[in-house]
């Protein structure tokens, strides 16, 4: 089987969050991967904002429901 198809079939989303700090290296890698991911019409119109401040995250969660 094609490695890409195999990877996609094995994908799982687990939404069980912790307060564990994520290293800057991992955050940067995730941002790079997200920016390279395909999207609708392949326009690459993705915008990412990294928020580490807990109070800001809570306010954002409140505002966005």
Those residues of the chain that have pLDDT short of 70 are 1, 42-44
Which residues are within 8 A (CB) of 44 and not within 5 positions of it... i.e. 6 or more apart?
35
Give the C-alpha distances (Å, rounded to integers) separating 37 from 2, 13, 14, 33, 46.
18, 17, 20, 6, 9
- pLDDT for the residue 46: 76
Q: Which two tokens stand for residue 53?
A: 């401040």
User: Domain residue spans in the chain?
Assistant: 22-37+48-65
- pLDDT for the residue 17: 79
- pLDDT for the residue 44: 64
pTM: 0.58
């Amino acid at each position: 089987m094609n490695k890409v198809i195999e990877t996609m079939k094995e994908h799982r989303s687990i939404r069980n969050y912790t307060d564990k700090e994520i290293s800057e290296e991992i955050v940067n890698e995730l941002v790079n991967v997200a920016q390279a991911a395909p999207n609708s019409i392949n326009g690459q119109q993705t915008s990412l904002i990294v928020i580490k401040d807990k109070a800001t995250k809570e306010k954002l969660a409140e505002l966005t429901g």
